[in-house]
Amino acid sequence: MNHTPQDAALALLALVALMFWRLRPWLVVLSGGLPGGLWMSGSKPQSSP
């Protein structure tokens, strides 16, 4: 799996949320899962017939 700049941005945002905003880890995981899932669904390779 290749990582994109969006993956790095999401990871950095999660790190900031944990370290500086002091959000609870479960909240960071849940809030990071939605954008991550949306990015992954938009980057699926198309199958050939």
pLDDT digits (tens, 9 = 90+) for 5-37: 877 888 898 899 999 988 899 999 888 888 777
Burial profile 10-48: b = 16 or more Cβ within 10 angstroms, e = fewer: beeebeebeeeeeeeeeebeeeeeeebeeeeeeeeeeee
Does residue 1 register a pLDDT over 80? Answer: no
Please give the single-letter amino acid code of residue 48. S
In a domain, 8, yes or no: yes
In a domain, 10, yes or no: yes
Question: Which tokens belong to 5?
Answer: 């700049």
pLDDT of residue 48: 52
In a domain, 22, yes or no: yes
In a domain, 34, yes or no: no
In a domain, 5, yes or no: yes
Does residue 44 register a pLDDT over 60? Answer: no
Number of structural domains found in the chain: 1
Domain that includes residue 7, residue range: 1-28
In a domain, 46, yes or no: no
Tell whether the torsion through CA atoms of 16, 22, 25 and 26 is positive or negative.
negative
In a domain, 24, yes or no: yes
